A and B are shown apart, each in its own frame.
Chain A
Amino acid sequence: MSAGPLFARYAYPPNALGYCGPPDPKALIEAGSPGARSEDVVSVARRFSGAWPYLELIASSNAIADPLDARVVEAYWIGNELLEGIPSTSLLGAIGSHPDSGLGGAAQLRGAAMAGGVAHHSFHVFAVYPWLAVLRSGKREPALSVLERCRIRWGRIEAVDGENVIVRSRPLGFDVRDLVLLDERSEQACGSVGGVGFVDDLVPGDLVSLHWDWVCDRLEPGALAHLEHFTMRSLQAVNAAEVRG
């Protein structure tokens, strides 16, 4: 898959909710369509000021000129080998000046980066956003729900109900001070709206990725392994981080 559609299918769900990116979800879909011009994709993607610094970091760390190279976009949303060679200090350097960097506290960010954090979307959700600190302060909701829906998660479709699907997936849980993955349960997700979705012909048994309420992609075993691996790396990093004010 080329970078435009790959970027768009994961960026669309929070964009449609008004949480990030330009105020026009249709522009994102158009920029992500197979016939879109590369400059259109760049102009939209750069306005995702949360994601863009990570794409630049992953690209520059791997001598890839284009932050919207498909391998780079895949590394950020799903994870791949491009993340392995990025030093923690580079991650910290890039994210330390990120617009979101003060949200969860500098100590949490630095601790998680130095405890094995990677330039993956899950790291931003768990280590940069304020919700883990909110959770640890004793306010379980909405913190846990936001963390769960904001991370890219994975699951297996067990039923298709019109445009919605029922997916077996492992939800995020909270144990004393740590984020953990709990046992599988069923959740409903949106496969399409008005016939428009990101993955055609979903059937029970499909392995899929989810972001907010949407099914974003059908995952091959290798992609599933990467998503699980880098999500667990991020969880371990934030759980291991020593947070000192």
Chain B
Amino acid sequence: MCMSRLHRAVTAPAGGWMTVENAEGRLHRVSLIALEGPEPQVGDWLVVHSGYALRRVDSEEAAAIVSELRAGQEALS
């Protein structure tokens, strides 16, 4: 099972890869091969799945997703 999470870019892209951080502060190295458009920049929000960045998320949508994730985590705790 492969949970998707919202991640924030923390390093500049290099060779089609970049490092991202999830809401829990965990760092992941993700591939940008499945992402369309210009390369993401540090601070951009991304939806990541199974090691791949899939799409960009604007700050408004990111805030909504973070809120949903927190509500889900509270429901599970």
Interface residues of A (CB under 8 A from B): 11, 14, 17-21, 23, 46-52, 99-100, 103, 121, 124-125, 129-131, 134, 139, 141-143, 146, 150
The reply to whether B49 and A49 form a contact with Cβ atoms under 8 Å apart is no
- Say how far A55's CB is from chain B's closest CB, in angstroms: 11
The reply to whether B54 and A20 form a contact with Cβ atoms under 8 Å apart is no
**23 CB < 8 A contacts A-B:** A17-B50, A19-B2, A19-B3, A20-B2, A20-B3, A23-B24, A48-B1, A48-B3, A49-B3, A49-B73, A50-B2, A52-B76, A99-B69, A100-B3, A103-B47, A121-B1, A129-B2, A129-B49, A130-B49, A134-B34, A139-B34, A141-B33, A142-B52
Residues of B within 8 A of A129 (CB): 2, 4, 49
Q: Roughly how many angstroms separate A11 CA and B2 CA in the complex, as a whole number? A: 9
B3, B68, B73 interface centre (most CB from chain A within 10 Å): B3
The contact of B68 among A11, A99, A124, by CB within 8 Å, is A99
The contact of B4 among A17, A52, A103, by CB within 8 Å, is A103
- Say how far B52's CB is from chain A's closest CB, in angstroms: 6
Q: Apart from A121-B1, A130-B49, what are 20 other A-B pairs with CB-CB below 8 Å?
A: A14-B2, A17-B50, A19-B3, A20-B3, A23-B24, A23-B26, A46-B76, A48-B1, A49-B72, A49-B73, A50-B1, A99-B72, A100-B3, A103-B54, A131-B49, A141-B33, A142-B33, A142-B34, A146-B49, A150-B50
Number of interface residues of B (CB under 8 A): 21
The reply to whether A49 and B76 form a contact with Cβ atoms under 8 Å apart is yes
- Say how far A5's CB is from chain B's closest CB, in angstroms: 17
Q: Roughly how many angstroms separate A172 CA and B17 CA in the complex, as a whole number? A: 26
The reply to whether A47 and B76 form a contact with Cβ atoms under 8 Å apart is yes
Question: Which residue in chain A gives the minimum CB-CB distance to B33?
Answer: A142
Which B36-77 residues have C-beta < 8 A from chain A? 47, 49-52, 54, 68-69, 72-73, 76
Q: Roughly how many angstroms separate A17 CA and B30 CA in the complex, as a whole number? A: 12
A21, A47, A99, A100 interface centre (most CB from chain B within 10 Å): A99
